[in-house]
Amino acid sequence: MPRVRVHLYIEGRVQGVGYRASAQYKAQDLNLTGWVRNLRDGRVEVVAEGEQENIAQFIQWCRKGPPGSIVRKVDIQQEEYTGEFNHFGVTF
């Protein structure tokens, strides 16, 4: 299975609802590496690497988000896989 990297920007009610922690848990469950953080403009930014099928599942989860969130838009940028991460974490 090919490994891929995506850079996501999630818009909507995605801050103050546990989105980062839930995304971290989901990414770890799917054996992804990378990070998630809040942006000052109210969006959440994610960089994730892993097997293509697991990345696809993660993107589907990001479109829904945790309970209490309202996701309006997910911008997806495909990037070149680097293997630079050892885990998936919340960053600031």
Known catalytic residues are 20, 38
Contact 38, 74 (CB under 8 A): no
Residue with tokens 């599942």: 57
Dihedral of CA atoms 69, 43, 34, 29 in degrees, nearest 10, equals 10
